A and B are shown apart, each in its own frame.
Chain A
């Protein structure tokens, strides 16, 4: 029995070398003024908490099991709670024609946009509140990753690096997502049929640039309960994103442009249908004074319908119940970062916003009073990672 115990202990110790653990803890202060986007009644809150722990177990040279569990609280921006961020088998396929390929099976991460793979990890992103044109908090849970398969292939040679990503899966949705889409009175169930994504990135030999393009297609379905106000419905979304980032010794410049076509049918009435294409993007520049201090400037813009840039049609269609500024959102932001010590950082930011197109998931008359035409928000975050 004793021998068996020592053998087991030895086995655990031997395998400990094949296991890696990392994590992060972050706490902040935040406020939205003139909007209930983060806090109600212009309150200052500590609802800016992000905690995560991840592990990687190298089962075999080509096979690993990886996962990350996190707890997030972002005020009104999304539902607070713990979640499995990712959990998948990482299979490193043998090199084919100098292409290095990884296949991920399980809950994989969306790697198709610049910050999508680690948007919940405070020290990997530029600001606590990401540019909403591309990283809309209202749809964050369905843009983080999905349950299915993801394939990532990389080819490097003297001409640069090519990276090709493909993924197919579906995101698990719950009552909170249904509420975000249709409101608290919806009694039915929302499901994502699938999300299909493809992206290509290129980095020249200088490594100073990284340019990419991605495509997303996804369908959502609403199954109404036997007795309720809503009807069965469907949403079809197609999204194209162009990404670019530039690195220099003292400057870092990143930009992304998004076009999102959305076709909604049913739900509010059997014959209800809307078809619109939103468009927007952001540019952000970071200046590095030295390895410890840097400052950020950013501009983000989004139009709910590219054919209605001032939101006039939106307002007319709602008979004036939805103000026209819900048709667009323009944000200027400044930020500062201080790397206090290795693995410790203090980050602050302030955003000035005109418009409310990304202030709520559901732009309906009932929600149209939550945000002024001009509003602002700020956040200060202290973070540690290991």
Chain B
């Protein structure tokens, strides 16, 4: 009887380990996909830009440049600062640390140096907001932009 119980217990442990391994492999696949999922800048059509140079991106997202070359106001849209996509944006597109960018914004907002960026809760909401605001710029994943039925042009 005790041998039978021992066998059942062993089988259950093997089953649990198997499930855990499958879950882990799924996780690694998901994270690999996330790492591969590049981000792109999105613009309101009035901006007339296709992309930003790294220097331009940093100047705009650190509020050092608050107007486009034609004099129109830049409206910056970002995700919440603790979102993984925003943190990835800081590193990938601005080559800055998220806390560094947050520090700059706080100094700007609380000393009257410029507008705060508009914070939205999701990438979908960000794309919609950028589309609806003349002079707006933001970012979103390539995959999402490609999948959007309304074919928002990420360029």
User: A154 CA to B107 CA in the complex, in Å?
Assistant: 16
User: Can you offer 9 A-B residue contacts whose CB atoms are under 8 A?
Assistant: A54-B112, A62-B71, A90-B114, A94-B71, A124-B103, A161-B64, A207-B95, A207-B100, A385-B106
Interface centre among B81, B82, B111 (most CB of A within 10 A): B111
Taken together as a complex, chains A and B put the C-alpha atoms of A61 and B134 apart, in Å, by 12
B39-82 to A contact mask, C-beta < 8 Å, 1/0: 00000000000000001001100001111010111000000111
B131 to chain A, nearest CB (A): 16
Cβ contacts A93-126/B at 8 Å (1 or 0 each):
0110000101010000101000001100101100
Contact with A along B73-103 (1 / 0, CB 8 A): 1000000111000000000000111111001
Report the separation of the CA atoms of residues A275 and B122 in the bound assembly, to the nearest whole angstrom.
Answer: 61
A154 vs B65: C-alpha distance in the bound complex, in angstroms?
8
Residues in B neighbouring A154, C-beta threshold 8 A:
59, 64-65
Closest chain B residue, CB of each to CB of A161: B64
Contact of A86 among B67, B106, B111, B115 (CB under 8 A): B111
Contact A123 B106 (CB under 8 A): yes
Q: Given A68-B111, A157-B55, A291-B98, 20 more contacts at CB 8 Å? A: A24-B110, A56-B112, A61-B72, A61-B73, A90-B113, A95-B69, A102-B113, A109-B113, A118-B106, A118-B111, A121-B111, A124-B110, A154-B64, A156-B55, A156-B59, A156-B65, A161-B59, A206-B95, A207-B100, A247-B97
Does B109 count as interface, using CB distance less than 8 angstroms?
A: yes
Contact yes or no, A342 B71, CB < 8 A: no
Which positions 267-313 of chain A face chain B at CB distance < 8 Å?
288, 291
B contact set with A: CB distance below 8 Å: 55, 58-59, 64-67, 69, 71-73, 80-82, 95-100, 103, 106-107, 109-116
Give the B-binding residues of A (Cβ under 8 A). 20, 22, 24, 52, 54, 56, 58, 61-62, 66-68, 86, 88, 90, 92, 94-95, 100, 102, 104, 109, 111, 117-118, 121, 123-124, 152, 154, 156-158, 161, 163, 205-207, 247-249, 252, 288, 291, 342, 385
Main secondary structure of the interface of B (DSSP, over half): loop
**Distance of A206 Cα from B73 Cα, bound (Å):** 27
Residues of B within 8 A of A247 (CB): 96-97, 100
Q: Do the beta carbons of B64 and A249 come within 8 Å of each other?
A: no
Chain A residue nearest to B110 (CB atoms) is A121
* Cα–Cα, bound, A249→B98 (Å): 9
The answer to whether A22 touches B116, judged by C-beta atoms less than 8 angstroms apart, is yes
B112 engages A342 (CB within 8 Å): no
Measured CA separation A54–B113 after assembly (Å): 12
Docked CA distance A66–B71 (Å): 20
Bound CA–CA A252/B99 (angstroms): 10
B112 touches A67 (CB 8 A): yes
CB pair B106 A124 closer than 8 Å: yes
Structural contact, A68 and B65, CB atoms closer than 8 A: no
With beta carbons under 8 angstroms apart, the residue of B100, B110, B115 that contacts A118 is B110
Partner of A156, one of B58, B95, B111: B58
- The reply to whether A58 and B115 form a contact with Cβ atoms under 8 Å apart is yes
| Contact status B115-A291, CB under 8 Å | no
Q: How far is the CB of B46 from chain A (nearest CB, A)?
A: 12
- With A61-B72, A156-B58, A247-B100 already in contact, the answer to whether A342 and B110 are too (CB < 8 A) is no
Contact partners of A56 in chain B: CB under 8 A: 112, 115
> Using Cβ atoms and an 8 Å threshold, which residues of chain A touch B81?
342
Beyond A58-B115, A158-B55, is A100–B110 a contact (Cβ under 8 Å)? Answer: no
Point out the residues of chain A lying under 8 angstroms from B58, CB to CB: 156, 161, 207
Q: How far is the CA of A61 from the CA of B73 in the complex (A)?
A: 5
Q: Residue A111 contacts which of B64, B95, B111 (CB distance < 8 angstroms)?
A: B111
- Contacting residues, chain B, for A58 (C-beta < 8 A): 73, 115
A157 to chain B, nearest CB (A): 6
Do the beta carbons of A121 and B106 come within 8 Å of each other? yes
CA distance A157 to B81 in the complex (A): 26
Instruction: Look across to chain A and name the residue whose beta carbon is closest to the beta carbon of B119.
Output: A342
Complex: A146 Cα to B90 Cα, angstroms? 35
Chain B nearest CB, measured from A314 CB (Å): 36
Q: Kindly name the residue among A20, A67, A88, A156 whose own CB sees the greatest number of chain B CB atoms within 10 A.
A: A156
Assess whether B107 is in contact with A124, with CB atoms less than 8 Å apart. Answer: yes
Chain B residue contacts of A156, Cβ below 8 A: 55, 58-59, 64-65
